[in-house]
Structure 1
Amino acid sequence: MKSTRSFMFLICPVMVLLFLYYSSGRLHLRSPVQKSREYTCRHMTVFLTPLELQYKYGNLSKGECKPGYAEAKMTSIYPKFSKPAPMFLDPNFKRLSNITSYTPPFGVRTQEKIIDHILQATKRYSLGSELDSISCKKCIIIGNGGILFNKSLGSQIDQYDVVIRLNEAPVAGFEKDVGSKTTMRITYPEGAIQKPERYEKSSLFVLSAFKLMDFKWLRLMVFKEKLRSMEGFWKSVARVVPREPEDIRILNPYFIQEAAFKFIGLPHNNGLMGRGNIPTLGTVAITMALHNCDEVAVAGFGYDMNTPHAPLHYYEKLMMSAIKESWTHNISKEKEFLQKLVKVGVIQDLTNGI
């Protein structure tokens, strides 16, 4: 009995000390100042203050890639942001529960068979071994805005590991301003380049599907079959995509869903396309990059409606006044979201148009 009391006398202080140590650690991690600087690292949640962010990244050489920087910054304004989200669909896409409940553009429901058929032909579902092996990726999304014209950003743009272009915006003849490097071109049928000779010699063709017809169109392009009708499209579409199946990808529709409902706050409309609830392709591409890149920059984003005679796009003479109210997009709410990203430092805007 005496030995038992002696044992308890020794063990209790140890347990109290362990409890206090554990509690102080928990309290420290959940302090109010740090709670706003949260990012997810594997299975642990860590909180970084602005000073800790500065300490973590401030001593890196100028231009050196900052591992996890976009994620750490993103969670300062969206604490539930979680980085893992595959860039492209692969044969296991049905495991992604967040997209199987929605039809396009926010998911894949009703399109599973045709997607399976496409993926069996493409056989590749990533950026490629060279880019996949880079431990810290710097990505840039090139918008099509006239603000890019005569900025001479081409050489700076080409320094990024991943250069993402949108729709049919040309490169040839505009290299001084937009660079010559293209890692991928994200588009949909109506936005795709229609003249085969205008495609880059090597880049990934990435479909962002907004409607059921888009997957049917992609299947024809992958299998080099003839498009017999334009029915179901709102304007003419490409009839040929000069890419081999292994250079074709399907963008994960989760990025459309997340950008619309979680970030911009667009109407849910029971998960169906409706008035003003579809994010622009540029914002979808930025959302994708935030999940898959360590640093994210943009160029050529932003339309200044106060200057109606400014060029709308960098590659044509169409003026800003040509913009009409969009049925599908909410430009003002989307701009608020992008401005927030720039202000907090989640993304860098090289042309200061946002």
Structure 2
Amino acid sequence: MGLLVFMRNLLLALCLFLVLGFLYYSAWKLHLLRWEDSNSVVLSFDSVGHTVGSGRRERKTVAIVLPLSIPSHLAADPGKDRAQKEPTETMAAPGPAIPKYDKLGFLLNLDSKLPPELASKYANFSEGVCKPGYASALMTVIFPKFLKPAPMFLDDSFRKWARIRDFVPPFGIKGQDNLIKAILSATKDYRLTPALDSLSCRRCIIVGNGGVLANKSLGLKIDDYDVVVRLNSAPVKGFEKDVGGKTTLRITYPEGAIQKMEQYEKDSLFVLAGFKWQDFKWLKYIVYKEKVSASDGFWKSVATRVPREPREIRILNPYFIQEAAFSFIGLPFNNGLMGRGSWTHNIQREKEFLRKLVKARVITDLTSGI
């Protein structure tokens, strides 16, 4: 049972990485997204390794790094009498080593078959059935750096995570301790819903807000997933036939949050992805129902109220933003800073990253948008 819980949590973390990669990619626009925008994405991901996409898609891949050691019978032995060696013996110079992984650590041959142990373990699962631990196991085959991640949401142990403690937003929490502590003291809940936590296998889909979904009639298929993630102000009402009506998590930042109360779904978790220090200050205003000041450093108008109780609000762990940007996509680190508040992007790398995940069958692009 403990193993199932571990693999389930690892799978959810993988799904979250996909969300963050997509959210990071879309952040460079920093404009209000509309349904007519054809550059957004819909991703679906589950333990079976399926993903649904609309326009663009994010995916993660994993490779296994094998330690290289010199066999003992080939190691030099200083104690041997060199005279015993054949004086005429010559050794052919070894050719250049053929790399198995790219610079970021991804397996180069993504078309390779599953390792025997995985093929055997999942051989009896029919197509479309949720396979516990399958996607995360495949990730560890194609990308060895994919390890057991941090908690999905910040909890009261957030100060213990060195990876995020020393970096400013969006890659860490430096300087935000008091604000985060105040928020968490009110929200008190740091997990998914009890119903989702009870599932041993969960299928996840990431739905963007681009026009590529128009007239695709994927609504029912999207709603069939256990976890439906939507980003920023991605619309639902009036578009249920194409985008579905179910929302489990809505991940956003102040400028991207829905401003009209009637457009919010009734039962989703509201998740903040903090890209700057003002975002945490804004969330504190929202949680404590305080007045939001328009002069707090936002580049556009922001929501002044979110129709959620504190227990329905979460803070996304910056660990995932950090990993998605630097480890998976390979964006320049720059000491964890983004120059003058602007976003650094390498569009080609991001597209390659998504295509790797599709090719490795870690996720599936439902709309073939990549």
Alpha-carbon offset, residue 59 of structure 1: 1.4
Offset at 1:230? 3.5
Separation (CA, whole Å) in 2 of partners of 1:130 and 1:255? 24
Q: Which residue of 2 aligns with 1:268?
A: 333
Tell me the secondary structure at the aligned position of residue 58 of structure 1. coil
How many angstroms apart in 1 are the aligned matches of 2:123 and 2:221? 22
Deviations 1:2-26 (A, max 9, x none): xxxxxxxxxxxxxxxxxxxxxxxxx
CA deviations on 1:153-208 (whole Å, 9 max, x unpaired) are 11111111110000001111111111111001000001000101110011000000
- Match of residue 221, structure 1, among 269, 272, 286: 286
Counterpart for residue 200 of structure 1: 265
Greater relative contact order (CA < 8 Å, ≥ 6 in sequence): 2
Q: Which moved more, 1:181-190 or 1:266-275?
A: 266-275
Q: Among residues 317, 327, 331, which one is paired with 1:252 in the alignment? A: 317
1:117 is aligned, of 182, 199, 205, to 182
> Could you tell me which residue of structure 1 aligns to residue 276 of structure 2?
211
Q: Which amino acid aligns with 1:167?
A: N
Partner SS for 1:349: coil
Partner Cα distance (1:52, 1:176) in 2: 40
> Match for residue 208 of structure 2?
143
2:137 maps to 1:69: no
Cα 1:31–1:68 change in 2 (3 A) is: farther
Equivalent in 30, 53, 58 of residue 123 of structure 2: 58
Contact 1:140 1:162 in 2 (8 A): yes
Q: CA–CA distance in 2 between the matches of 1:274 and 1:164? A: 30
Aligned residue runs from structure 1 range 81-120, under 5 A? 81-120=146-185
Deviation of 1:84 (Å): 3.3
Q: Is the 8 A contact 1:230 1:236 kept in 2?
A: no
- Does structure 1 retain, via aligned residues, the 8 Å contact 2:253–2:272? yes
Q: Which has the higher helix share?
A: 1
TM-score normalised to structure 2 length: 0.68
For residues 289-334 of structure 1, give each alpha carbon's deviation from its aligned partner in whole angstroms, at most 9, with x where no partner exists. xxxxxxxxxxxxxxxxxxxxxxxxxxxxxxxxxxxxx954333221
Superposition pairs of residues 281-320 of structure 1, within 5 angstroms: none
- Alignment coverage as a number of residue pairs: 264
Alignment match, 1:323: none
Distance apart, 1:30 and its partner CA = 7.5
Q: 1:171 aligns with which of 236, 254, 259?
A: 236
Give the share of equivalent positions with the same residue, in percent: 67
- Over the aligned positions, Cα root-mean-square deviation in angstroms equals 2.2
SS at match of 1:258: helix
Q: Within 5 Å, which residues of 2 pair with 1:226-245?
A: 226-245=291-310
Gapped runs of 5+ residues in structure 2?
A: 1-65, 70-99, 102-112
C-alpha separation between the residues in 2 aligned to 1:230 and 1:198? Answer: 25
C-alpha distance in structure 2 between counterparts of 1:220 and 1:265, whole Å: 35
Output the CA distance in 2 between the equivalents of 1:343 and 1:62. 18
Asked if 1:344 corresponds to 2:360, the answer is yes
The 10-residue stretch of structure 1 (186-195 or 220-229) with the greater mean CA deviation from structure 2: 220-229
Q: Which runs of 5+ in 1 are unaligned?
A: 1-28, 37-47, 279-325
Name the CA shift for 1:49/1:60 in 2 (closer, same or farther; >3 Å). closer
Q: Contact 2:294–2:302 at 8 Å: present in 1 too?
A: no
- Give the Cα–Cα distance (whole angstroms) in 2 for the partners of residues 196 and 243 of structure 1: 10
The question of whether the paired residues in 2 share the 8 Å contact of 1:209 and 1:215 is answered with: yes
Please report how far the alpha carbon of residue 252 of structure 1 lies from its aligned counterpart in structure 2 after TM superposition: 0.5
Could you tell me whether the CA contact under 8 Å between 1:154 and 1:177 is conserved in 2?
Answer: yes
1:235 offset after TM fit, Å? Answer: 1.4
Q: Within 1, Cα distance between the matches of 2:295 and 2:354?
A: 34
Counterparts of 1:158 and 1:229 in 2: how far apart (Å)?
36
Structure 1 outlier segments of 4+, above 4 Å: 29-32
Q: Retained in 2: the 8 A contact 1:99–1:253? A: yes
Helix, strand or coil for the counterpart of 2:368?
coil
Task: Return the alpha-carbon distance in structure 1 between the equivalents of residues 347 and 258 of structure 2.
Answer: 24
Distance apart, 1:217 and its partner CA: 0.4
Partner of 1:80: 145
Query: 171, 176, 181: which one pairs with 2:246?
Result: 181
CA drift of 1:231 comes to 3.7
Structure 2 residue aligned with 1:301: none
TM-score, normalised relative to structure 1: 0.71
Secondary structure (helix, strand or coil) at the match of 2:302 reads: coil
Q: CA deviation at 1:74?
A: 1.3
Conserved 8 A contact 2:294-2:301:
no
**1:7 aligned partner:** none
1:158 aligns with 2:223: yes
Amino acid at match of 1:335: K
